[in-house]
Structure 1
Amino acid sequence: MLPDGESISLLVNDERGGEGHGVRCYAGLRLDPFFMDVAKEVETRTRRRLAFLPKGTNTLEGTDVLAVVAELDVVRVFGAASGSVFAVAAETVTVGPYPERLGRPEVKNNLLSDNGVDAANRVVDLRDLYNEEDPFRLGPRYADACRARLNANLVFFDGLDGKADWTTQPDGTHLLTELLLADFLVVDIAKPYDEDSYFEIEEHLP
């Protein structure tokens, strides 16, 4: 659904996709873009030390995922005064009690999973609860639990190579917690695309 109430119709796996009102959409199978050595990732978490090799094995090689792609004319869809910096998140709703939403890649699977280091909560799977939240307006109900999980996991992952590159505040707060708690991507369409860039915009925010 677009801001003006219009919608785009398309068929899954139709290479032509759907188009209208300044928007083009596609939904269908595409090669999974992630490189993930699952066996070494599991070993890393279990042994609590880096197990990855210089030449890894891409467990996802040849795996397809159902992709939803949207391309839009920003001025036409949001107006000429919309600017160039946007916060972006996606959500899918299927049968079941929880939606699935995505902002930054793998925040929930990695940073909010239970690695046995969160002393505040070792019972509740926070990922499903976090999925229910508005990515742009995290409510107060589970915010502290999510912060505690991020604080613990960020220290855990930072120390897997045997040294700590990040310091924490006296109360245990990690410097990246608030940034990653806001689970949305920040993009500036006025800048050239670079597949190797990440966090440049956030690093320059006051």
Structure 2
Amino acid sequence: MKIQLVFIPSPGIGHLRSTVELAKRLVRSDDRLWITVIIIPYPSISDDDVETTYIASLTTASQDRLNYEAISVANQPTDYQEPTQVYIEKQKPQVRDVVARIFHSTGVDSPRVAGFVVDMFCSSMIDVVNEFGVPCYMVYTSNATCLGITLHIQRMFDEKKYDVSELEDSVNELEFPFLTRPYPVKCLPDFFTSKDWLAFFLAQARCFRKMKEDKRLCDGGGVGIGGSDTEVL
């Protein structure tokens, strides 16, 4: 049976390159697999910047089992840059249009869309995926400890109303159930203790818990998300 996965990487050449390499490896590993990568570019400053050139090289290199779909985005003034999460949220309608086209173009001999794979910073795209009734998976490009801390801080905030951005000076360590010893507060990444960033990472963690878990998705390192559990693959 032919199946297709749809990848949605985060804007930015670092996340795009790693997603493309993962897609290439997966396609090479199984000749029953098709992959479409939906590219969300940042607004181009010029036609010759590195990201624009790379995206152009991808869209002209689409193959039978590995295709690239770059959505069109409006240019922004060079002195204005939206937060990434806001920018991604605004691209939902265009991503939805591409996804609908993929589904509607499915013929008798075309691969069945089996799931979506979204970047860790594109977790809000799960809302688009859910409209099409297929599983959504996530590529988490940081390490398992960072993921565990994110999920546990979100649980403490939602269930116990414990806000790590308001820690008292007397609190020097925090207990995390997946670690063998207490974690020093001074070692927490700044975005967890920042009022400006904590809300974003809490929202991300809530989206992470909606993802589908599947050990078969990654070959080697990586992290799988499913329900309230986190598993290192």
**TM-score tier (shorter):** under 0.3
TM-score, normalised on structure 1?
0.25
TM-score, normalised on structure 2?
0.24
